[in-house]
Amino acid sequence: MNAEKRKSSPSAVVATENQQAAEAGREILLRGGNAVDAACATALALGVVSPDSSGIGGGGFMLLYMAREARFHALDFRERAPLGASPELYTEAARDNPGVSRAGALAVAVPGEVAGLAEALGALGRMKFSAVAEPAIRLARNGFRCSAHLARDIGRTAPLLANDRMLSRHLMGDAGQPPKPDERLQSHALGATLARLGDQPVEVFYRGPLAREIASFVKSRGGLLTVDDFAEYRPLWRDPLRGAYRGHEVVTLPLPASGATLLEMLAMVEADELREMGHNSAACLAHIAEVMRQGFADRAMLGDPAFAPNETSRMLLPGHVNEARARALARERSAPVAKPRGRGTSSLCVVDKDRNIALLTTTINTEFGAKLMVPEWGILLNNSMDDFTVVPGMPNAARLAGGAANDIRGGKRPLSSIAPAILMRGGEPVLCLGGSGGPTIITGVFQTVANVLDFGLDPPSAVAVARIHAQGSPDLVLVESGIPEPTCRVLEEMGYRLRGVPALRMAISAVGLAPDALTGAADPRKGGGVAAA
């Protein structure tokens, strides 16, 4: 590698959906932190600058690769149903209020983010929680620029936010006016909370005053959370899931995340020559749309492996993949229902100077979660109970109707669409990526992998290029405006119901790893941010 190339190539990269959060991660890298430290700092900063998508009132997953040991780690800090939750309780509540799992106190599951970040730092990080929280605390106290994406989300959900006076006031002021892009916002209460967590965040959040305050607040609104729910919460280390595609090993997350669905989709197209079909051609898009639909049909059979049979091994057997591919290409169709919606989730990728990799996806579920904020603490609460099968046959906010394996049980973790991946070739990582956006996470990661391996796009192009989304129900294909009109006309002539959208409400973050260079890619759909160190 020549000197000029070495000089221009960063030794570490943070890629995520907000530049201010990416810079928080870079700060930690420059202070000697590793990828795990920087990922935790970026996640905490995202909770400040993207409160519509994530925060310590939610949960998520991490997929890690530690280069020295050449080992992968999967950490599940997904939210968990309150111990008092039951299918009967929610079925009864949904009779009077079909949106019971989408907004309000019964929508709130036990948050897992603080426990998850503390666990990752303790096991594989170099820095203390208080140190990685410093950039987020400064953003909360000193103010941050409101992104165009956040301004749109506040404006769109303002009527629902008004149901919680303190939350509405926090986001829109006394006048109730949504902020404009680049307007300066602050979150003093959240900054104070992050500072109060100190270096004993689990004790403070799950067994101390915060647990009591959140449980009391949720109970006063008719919810189920108790101090026992907090005290008994634990993040879980799980075995990563492994597959293959185009000569690469693909490592991803197991249940209750959706890595198995990603691997099944990739396996279904491995026998096809996508490149010969042409990138984003009608033939290629029709083919992958049917594969997506079949992947979601199989996903409906999955749930928390502690409560339901784990079907992922069967799903990935060659015989099942061949059968699923045959069903996909048969193009059996379902009745049309409503359009799927975007989700409130944030993803990030960090590669440090030692080539350690941290992929972290954190969520409060839909935009602004349960639309409730614990006022004195500045914590927005998740609505992750909606990721369960709340009532059999009733779609959730993502318009997905789950199966019995994902029903509500006390202590259970809901099925998640989160599906990051690390691609290996010759024992070395070459690409890592993750996404936000509910079910579009799976299809977005799937298409981005194909864009790189089948069509030879570099990571920034692979992330930015137009995408589609199909999940079987509803019986339509969402098509971004970058897909040419002649291609759309051919798809319609083939019998597809299309719905054009300016951009899917999701975002992919990725880092390409070449022997002599790192290439970060952040999705322009949510603004994006890449910071090199």
Whether cis (ω within 30° of 0) applies to the bond prior to 201 is no
Is the confidence at residue 332, as pLDDT, over 80? no
Is the confidence at residue 399, as pLDDT, over 90? no
Average pLDDT, the chain: 92
How far, CA to CA in Å, does 499 sit from each of 400, 442, 492? 17, 19, 10
Name the band, by pLDDT with cuts 50, 70 and 90, for residue 7.
very low
- Residue 101 and residue 365: Cα distance in Å, rounded? 11
Task: Quick: pLDDT tens for 505-531.
Answer: 889 999 999 999 999 999 999 999 999
Averaged over 208-220, what is the pLDDT?
95
The more confident residue out of 487 and 344 is: 487
What would the two tokens of residue 200 be? Answer: 């004993």
Beta bridge partners of 345: 363
Supply the pLDDT for residue 401. Answer: 66
The more confident residue out of 344 and 445 is: 445
Name residue 284's amino acid: C
Supply the pLDDT for residue 473. Answer: 77
Supply the pLDDT for residue 338. Answer: 37
Q: Give all domains of the chain, ordered by start, each with its CATH number.
A: 16-236+355-406 (no CATH), 238-342+418-525 (1.10.246.130)
Supply the pLDDT for residue 393. Answer: 67
Is the confidence at residue 113, as pLDDT, over 60? yes
Supply the pLDDT for residue 337. Answer: 35
pTM > 0.75: yes
Averaged over 368-373, what is the pLDDT?
96
Q: In what order do the strands lie in the sheet with 498-501?
A: 468-469, 477-480, 498-501
Percent of the chain with pLDDT over 90: 85
What would the two tokens of residue 391 be? Answer: 């009532």
Q: How many CA atoms lie within 13 A of 229 on its CB side?
A: 29
- Cα angle, residue 392 at apex, residues 389 and 396 outer, rounded to 5°: 45
Q: How far is CA 280 from the centre of its chain?
A: 25
- Residue 258 and residue 363: Cα distance in Å, rounded? 14
Supply the pLDDT for residue 395. Answer: 66
Is the confidence at residue 335, as pLDDT, over 80? no
Supply the pLDDT for residue 329. Answer: 81
Crossing angle of helices 318-330 and 259-269, rounded to 10°: 70
Supply the pLDDT for residue 402. Answer: 67
Task: Quick: pLDDT tens for 138-197.
Answer: 999 999 999 999 999 999 999 999 989 999 999 999 888 999 999 999 999 999 999 999
Task: Quick: pLDDT tens for 292-316.
Answer: 999 999 998 899 999 998 989 999 9
Supply the pLDDT for residue 250. Answer: 98
Percent of the chain with pLDDT over 70: 94
How far, CA to CA in Å, does 492 sit from each of 326, 334, 466? 22, 16, 18
261 is catalytic: no
Task: Quick: pLDDT tens for 76-101.
Answer: 999 999 999 999 999 999 988 988 99
Task: Quick: pLDDT tens for 430-470.
Answer: 999 999 999 999 999 999 999 999 999 999 999 999 999 99
Supply the pLDDT for residue 84. Answer: 96
Among residues 42, 193, 252, 345, the one annotated as catalytic is: 345
